[in-house]
């Protein structure tokens, strides 16, 4: 029985981070420019605190100017927008990230769209979404998770995906839709599926590339997957599992890893697959922004 190659996102992210660190040092030495990343966090959501801490640590290790703005949970929307406006006009800041989810009283769309597109390193601004959809990505920012997924797919199958069928499970603005745009740009034939898709398992079974981003633990099984497919699991679900006779909370993806690895050619694990790539792609976008702002090209 063939066992799929385990795509090591941690190692891939580390190699990419080393390259970013090297390019950052060169940018500072040659042009006196240090990429600046500002992270805005509102409230004290524990998961958000962990993400922000990881982003700050990674930014500093890459040699970036890293700034964190922490606002109280009850912060007025006007105060959040005022801070974003200040960061938009701060020449030392090249990337602005507002940590989601936001407290309920804040308008997520109003806040994410207030970030100037050239500093929108999350790729959530409608200008960046439009450029991605139109295939004009030379000066656009692509959302970090799909961008990381795309690098891992290219590692396995090359940059030109002509003749490959790709199925994306999930249609979110953060992963599903931009993922489909990137796959189309690489010449794949793309199907986007979701909760309303009829005979989902049959649709997935025709795919050479499967990207699962739906938030349902272990949903994708071996009998869904075409032998030899590349499977990218974006899902991060906390579930109770019995391990060595002990029940505990563990992280699991949208793909049943043990089952699917019996048929796939390559598969990302959870954790240690897509997750590490997401934060590193944020750094890649911030470095690009700094270079573009200086007229140096991406």
Residues with a known catalytic role:
55, 99, 122
- Residue 20, C-beta contacts closer than 8 angstroms, at least 6 positions apart: 62, 280, 283, 284, 287
39 DSSP β-pair partners: 68, 97
Q: Helices then strands (H, E): number in the chain? A: 10, 11
- Burial pattern 73-83, b for ≥16 Cβ within 10 A else e, equals eebebeebeeb
246 DSSP β-pair partners: 243
Q: Which pairing describes strands 95-98 and 65-71: parallel, antiparallel, or unpaired? A: unpaired
Structure tokens at 218: 């272990």
Q: In what helix (H) or strand (E) does residue 134 lie, and over which residues does it extend?
A: helix 126-134
Burial class of residue 28 in the structure, from the number of CB atoms within 10 Å of its CB (0-12 exposed, 13-18 middle, 19+ buried): middle
Query: What are the phi and psi torsion angles at 187 (to 5°)?
Result: 75, 15
- Residue 171, C-beta contacts closer than 8 angstroms, at least 6 positions apart: 177, 192, 193, 194
């Amino acid at each position: 029985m063939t066992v799929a190659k385990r795509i090591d996102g941690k190692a891939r992210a580390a190699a990419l981070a080393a390259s970013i660190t090297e390019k950052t040092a060169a940018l500072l030495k040659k042009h006196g420019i240090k990429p600046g990343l500002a992270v805005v966090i509102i409230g004290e959501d524990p998961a958000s605190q962990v993400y922000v801490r990881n982003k700050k640590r990674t930014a500093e290790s890459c040699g970036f100017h890293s700034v964190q703005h922490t606002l109280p949970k009850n912060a007025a929307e006007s105060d959040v927008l005022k801070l974003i406006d200040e960061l938009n006009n701060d020449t030392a800041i090249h990337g602005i990230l507002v940590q989601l989810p936001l407290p309920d009283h804040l308008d997520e769309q109003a806040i994410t769209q207030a970030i100037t597109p050239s500093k929108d390193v999350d790729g959530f601004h409608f200008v960046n979404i439009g450029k991605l959809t139109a295939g004009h990505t030379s000066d656009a920012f692509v959302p970090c998770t799909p961008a990381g997924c795309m690098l891992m797919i290219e590692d396995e199958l090359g940059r030109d995906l002509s003749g490959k069928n790709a199925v994306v499970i999930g249609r979110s603005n953060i992963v599903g839709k931009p993922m489909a745009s990137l796959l189309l740009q690489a010449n794949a034939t793309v199907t986007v599926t979701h909760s309303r898709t009829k005979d989902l398992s049959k649709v997935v079974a025709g795919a050479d590339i499967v990207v699962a981003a739906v938030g349902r633990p272990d949903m994708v099984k071996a009998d869904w997957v075409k032998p030899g497919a590349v499977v990218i699991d974006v899902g991060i679900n906390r579930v109770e599992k019995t391990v060595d006779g002990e029940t505990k909370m563990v992280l699991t993806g949208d793909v049943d890893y043990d089952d699917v690895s019996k048929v796939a050619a390559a598969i990302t694990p959870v954790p240690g697959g897509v997750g590490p790539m997401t934060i590193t792609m944020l750094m890649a976008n911030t470095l690009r922004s700094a270079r573009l702002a200086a007229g140096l090209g991406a």
